[in-house]
Amino acid sequence: MLEWTGWDFITRPVEADESRAVSESPELYVSRLAEMKARAAVHPLNKMGAADLILAADTTVADGNRVLGKPLDEADARRMLLHLRDRSHEVFTALAIYRVSDHRWSFDRCRTLVAMRDYSDEEIEAYVLSGDPMDKAGAYAIQNKTFHPVTGFNGCFANVMGLPLCHLVRMMKKIGIVAPVETALSCQQHLDYDCPVTRDVLAGLDVG
C-alpha cells in the first residue's frame, strides 16, 4: 500500500513486545505500539545512514475493550472469526513518524467501524485452512474476495487493511513533505472504492 503513495522506501522489521498493559484501551495500545516500533528502528537506521524519515504503524481489531491481534494458531483464528461473525467491531491503526534530521515526532490514529456478515462454519474452516488469517489482526482481510467477510463499514477502507493513507499524507504534509502522486485517488483506484471520508481527513477533521 505504501507504494501507492509514490514515495521511495525501504522496509525494516523490528522487535517489539506487543503485550497489552492492564486496563490499556485499544486506542492507547495501538498508539503505544506504533511509537515503540518507530523508536526501535531509530538506532539501526541512524547507524546505517539509510533514511531520514521513519514510519511505523500498528493495527488492531477491538470489540469494546477486547483487543484481537494476530491469531496465535489456526484454533485461535477460528475463535476470532466466530466471535466477530454477524457483529460490528472497530479497527484502529496508529501511525508514528520520526524525522532523524530534526528529531521531530508526529502521531495520528484512524478508527473504522466494521460490520461482519453471517458467514458459515464451513466458510470459516476453508478460510483458516487457506492461511490468509494468520498474519491479520482479527484473523481476517477485508480485501479477501473469496471469503469477503465484511458487509459494510463506516470510515477508511485502507485503515482496515492496515495503512490509512490519507492520514499518512496529511501527517507528511505537516512536516513539509508532499506525496509525488495524488495518493487518495491512487488508493481509491487500487481498492475500487469511492471513499466518503477522504476530503474530511485531508482537511484535518477527526474522521475515518
Residues with active-site annotation: 58
Give the whole-angstrom CA distance, residue 208 versus residue 108. 11
Phi, psi for 55 (deg, rounded to 5): -120, 130
Give the whole-angstrom CA distance, residue 175 versus residue 160. 25
Upper half-sphere CA count for residue 152 (Cβ side, 13 Å)? 2
Give the whole-angstrom CA distance, residue 151 versus residue 82. 16
Strands of 88-99's sheet, edge to edge?
66-68, 53-63, 88-99, 104-116, 150-154
Give the whole-angstrom CA distance, residue 193 versus residue 20. 34
